Chains A and B, each alone.
Chain A
Amino acid sequence: MPISLSLRNAPILMNTQNTADYPAFPEGGDAFRHANLLGIEGLQPWEILYLLKEAEQWVAMNRQSTKHDDRLAGLTVINAFFENSTRTLLSFEIAGKRLGADVVNMHAAQSSIKKGETLIDTAVTLNAMRADAIVIRHGSSGAVQLIADKVDCPVLNAGDGQHEHPTQALLDALTIKQRLGRISGLTVTICGDILHSRVARSNIICLATLGAKVRVAGPPALLPDGIEVLSAEVFTDFDAALDGADVVMMLRLQNERMSGQFIPSPREYHRLYGLTQERLAKAAPDALVMHPGPMNRGVEIDSDVADNMARSAITEQVEMGVAMRMACLDVLTRRARKMEGWS
């Protein structure tokens, strides 16, 4: 039977990652062996670290007054977004443009899927336009993989249903690394609507792979069955989950994905799972506060916490997002650009 899926094989951690520095990476294309970026699951720890390291140069460049590089000049990047997005779409668009690529955005609202075209036909159409990379967001888990199987160029997952959002996890890891200097050994608490969150899945896998201790917290109705096998410790008591945490990552309630009622009221939710100044005091003294956005102020996070520049890394996450996506676009197009060692 053609069934082989490696469950439970937690990635082997490299010894080198207990240091703040990066390990020595395999030569050339061996540093990142994948044609696509469909998820964090399946990536080796050094592959994640390689992408993080590659992003650092773009963090530096993006802080200069002239933010331009021409390595993707002549390449076409299509951002195919079948689901609404503001920051991720903009972030990918800026990332592609800063690397010199011709970036085209396709919104579902104005596309032919409204006219009944199937996803596969849309994929084949995009492929026929000879894109050099396609960035896809779709509301159904697995949709991006389905498209990736039908196109010739690298595909980047910008979020598929409740499955994965790998660039978000990478930019979060980059933010933590920039702010706290390391990931390994940190305790990261992710709180909120874990059930409907692709960000949570990608982050749990990413952070655990890099050696962090991951806790998830939320009401039982919003905690998926079996989440603990992704190496996360499960809490329903937010205060207990916060105890000594180095990073607190808050998630939005994904009302658009809920069928049925999952919380009695936002007010009650805030009482149980809202991040207030008082609650944050239970975490480590210099704990970092993160949120992938968009925030619902007063529900999962209070404004005074979100806007506390000393603790909150929320705007920095957005900044890291551009650099991280530049690194992903760069690395994934290297084979097509015939970069030495990447054939």
Chain B
Amino acid sequence: MNQNALTITNAHLILPGEKHAVKGNVRVEADHIVALGDVHAEADDIVVDAKGQYVAPGLVDLGVFSIDKPAFHFGGITRAALMADQNPPLDHPARVRFAAQSGKPDFWVHPLGGATRDMAGNNMAELALMKDAGARAITTGRRWIADTGTMLRLMQYCAMLDLPLILHSEDHGLTGDAVATSGEMATRLGLPSAPKEAESIAIERDLALGRLSDAHLHFRQVTTEAGLKLIRAAKSEGMRVTCGITPAHFMLSEVAIGEFRTFARLSPPLRHEDDRQACLEALADGTIDVISSGHDPRGPEDKRLPFADARPGMAGAETLLPLTLNLVRDGVLSLPDALAKLTSNPARILNVNAGILATGAEADIMIFADDKPWIVDSAKMAAAAGNTPFDKMPVQGRVIRLLKSGKEVAL
């Protein structure tokens, strides 16, 4: 009897390289996938009937600010890359090692090492030691490193260590204490604001340094037309550059901050509608590689404040999948392409053997109903806090069953 084996039957599989879902089964032994497609359950296998629903890899969430298992499991997320902006920050090998263990066994955390001590942007942290401790990439956090020399040396180290450098693209000299994008909305509300060019200026500098250092740069959130244009050009030039976005920036424009709604206070701030359209275009043409939740649950003590005093961030883990499926329904992306931005692309950047349904890959698997309707309700979220700008929004798509390393997670 093989108590460690499990077969998912009656599934529509999302497989790498396939344009459509493929009917078939998945067989898992211990924590790995051993066979796919036309395979059958063996005598003692646990059988999980997918009932004709989609079966895809568990989501790999590149860039979250909090480990919030109930929310991640609800959202089908089996691994998350934890930003270094913690209190205290992940700028020390010991903290990285602790974070790497913090979710196991039913959730895996891939820590992102802080690039500089205290995230202050001045002195480099121990990058190689953090890599040994389990850091999958290095990040500047939600900060801008003003010193160009420091930035170049950081990139050189990251290139040598073969660690991607995950960047926040806002030139702090322009943003200062801004909480909104300059324009009509910010002016009407009287909020400190910065021109959206703060993003493209930051990207342009870091791309130039990237050419010097040959580091793999990942811009965690690119949200403006000008920024995306730069990424597109850098990619066509053959640079090792990738970028991501969160659903808020392709679903919402700055109008969402009206009436000082602090749940829509994000970093970078929401942009104008034409930038949102540019984001959709960049998702469609592959300029944007990754969609992540940026999960940052914040309670009333951080959010029930005047807009500029509130902390940025939103609880996004639960809505990551359904909001991304909106792109499929709107014809922006095919289902496999949309899922690739949630699974295989971030897994490749983090260099982890997951995010893919393939023989030998870690058995992180979700079964989801792409059309199952539900209503986002900030009062009833699984997350540690309900700070979502999508409160009361009807969405479609929900995870039905979830396996982490071959073990079913109770939802």
Binds A, one of B143-151, B160-168, B306-314: B306-314
Q: Is the CB of B192 within 8 A of A118?
A: no
Smallest CB–CB gap between B141 and chain A, Å?
A: 21
Residues in B whose Cβ lies below 8 Å from that of A8 = 184
Which listed residue (B192, B258, B304) contacts A162, Cβ 8 A?
A: B192
With both chains docked as a complex, state the minimum distance between the C-beta of A177 and any C-beta of chain B, in angstroms. Answer: 25
Residues of A within 8 A of B190 (CB): 141, 160-164, 198, 201
B306 touches A227 (CB 8 A): no
B residues 255-276 in Cβ contact with A at 8 Å: 255-256, 258-260
How far is B71's CA from A38's CA once the two chains are assembled, in angstroms?
37
A257: nearest residue on chain B (CB-CB)? B192
Interface window among B93-101, B175-183, B366-374: B175-183
A51-59, A66-74, A142-150 - the one binding chain B: A142-150
Instruction: Please tell me if B286 contacts chain A, counting CB pairs below 8 Å.
Output: no
B195: chain A residues within 8 A (beta carbon): 225
Q: Do B184 and A226 touch (CB < 8 A)? A: yes
Q: Does B189 make an interface contact (CB < 8 A)?
A: yes
CB < 8 Å neighbour of B193 from A145, A225, A259: A225
Contacting pair A140 B304 (CB below 8 A): no
Given A7-B255, A141-B190, decide whether A120 and B304 contact each other with a Cβ distance below 8 A: yes
Complex Cα distance A143/B259, Å?
A: 11
Q: In the complex, which of the residues B308, B391, B393 contacts A161, with contact meaning CB atoms closer than 8 Å? A: B308
Query: Are B392 and A225 neighbours in the complex by a CB distance under 8 Å?
Result: no
* Interface assignment of B105: CB less than 8 Å from any CB of chain A: no
Residue A119, interface by CB 8 Å: yes
* B189 and A1 contact, CB distance less than 8 A: no
**A residues near B309, Cβ cutoff 8 Å:** 140, 143
**Pairwise interchain contact A141-B189, C-beta atoms closer than 8 A:** yes
A164 to B188, CA, bound (A): 9
- Does A224 sit within 8 A of B, measured CB to CB? yes
Chain A positions 186-231 with a Cβ under 8 Å from a chain B Cβ: 198, 201, 224-227, 229-230
| A-contacting residues, B11-25, CB 8 Å | none
Interface pair A142/B193, CB less than 8 Å apart: no
- Assess the B260–A142 pair: CB atoms within 8 A: yes
Give Cα distance in the complex from A170 to B105, angstroms: 63
| Interface pair A3/B258, CB less than 8 Å apart | yes
Question: Which interface residue of A120, A161, A259 has the most chain B CB atoms within 10 A?
Answer: A161
Query: Is B301 among interface residues, defined by CB-CB distance under 8 A?
Result: yes
Contacts of B252 in A (CB 8 A): 1, 3
A140 touching B308, Cβ below 8 Å? yes
Contact A225 B182 (CB under 8 A): yes
- Least CB distance from B372 to A in Å reads 20
A138 on interface, CB distance cutoff 8 Å? yes
Cα–Cα distance between A198 and B189 once the two chains are bound (Å): 10
Nearest residue, chain B, Cβ from A161: B190
Contact status of A3 and B186, CB under 8 A, knowing A141-B307, A146-B305, A259-B177 = no
A24 located at the interface, meaning its Cβ lies under 8 Å from any Cβ of chain B in the complex: no
With A162-B190, A229-B187: A141-B176 Cβ-Cβ less than 8 Å? no
B300 in the interface, Cβ–Cβ < 8 Å? yes
CA A226 to CA B189, docked complex, whole Å: 11
> Does B191 make an interface contact (CB < 8 A)?
yes
Q: If A226-B183, A226-B184 touch, does A5 touch B259 (CB 8 Å cutoff)?
A: yes
Determine if A225 and B191 form an interchain contact, defined as CB atoms under 8 angstroms apart.
Answer: no
Cα distance, A7 to B254, chains bound together (Å):
12
For the complex, give the distance between the alpha carbons of A120 and B187 in Å. Answer: 25
Tell me if B390 counts as interface (CB < 8 A to partner A).
yes
> Is B255 in contact with A141, judged by CB distance below 8 angstroms?
no
Q: Which residue of B lies closest to A224 (CB)?
A: B187
> Measured between alpha carbons, how far is A265 from B176 in the docked complex, in Å?
21
Tell me the complex Cα distance, A259–B175, Å.
11
Which residue of chain B lies nearest to A162 when distances are taken between CB atoms in the complex? B190
Task: Name B300's closest neighbour in chain A (CB-CB).
Answer: A120
- Residue from B177, B182, B308 within 8 A of A141 (CB atoms): B308
Known: A161-B308, A225-B195. A118 touches B183 (CB 8 A): no
A227 to B256, CA, bound (A): 19
Question: Which A residues, 227 to 246, have Cβ-Cβ distances below 8 Å to chain B?
Answer: 227, 229-230
Contact, CB under 8 Å: B176 / A259: yes
Q: Does A264 contact B (CB under 8 A)?
A: no
The 8 A CB mask of A114-152 against B (1 = contact, 0 = none) is 000011100000000000000000101111011000000
Chain A CB within 10 Å, residue with most, of B177, B193, B306: B306
> Per a CB cutoff under 8 Å, which of A141, A162, A201, A230 touches B260?
A141
Q: Distance (Å) between the CB of A168 and the closest chain B CB?
A: 14
- Closest Cβ–Cβ distance, residue B395 to chain A (whole Å): 11
Checking A2, A120, A230 against B188 with a beta-carbon cut-off of 8 angstroms, the contacting residue is A230
Residue pairs across A and B with Cβ atoms less than 8 A apart, 17 shown, are A1-B252, A2-B392, A3-B252, A120-B304, A140-B305, A141-B260, A142-B189, A142-B306, A146-B260, A146-B305, A201-B190, A224-B182, A225-B183, A226-B183, A226-B187, A226-B188, A259-B192
Since A142-B191, A225-B187 are in contact, a sample of 20 more A-B pairs with Cβ atoms closer than 8 Å, ordered by chain A residue number, is A1-B390, A3-B256, A5-B255, A5-B259, A7-B184, A7-B185, A7-B188, A141-B189, A141-B307, A141-B308, A142-B308, A145-B259, A146-B304, A163-B190, A201-B190, A225-B183, A229-B188, A230-B187, A259-B176, A259-B192
The 7 A-B residue pairs with the shortest CB-CB distance, nearest first, are A142-B260, A140-B306, A163-B190, A5-B258, A162-B190, A225-B182, A143-B306
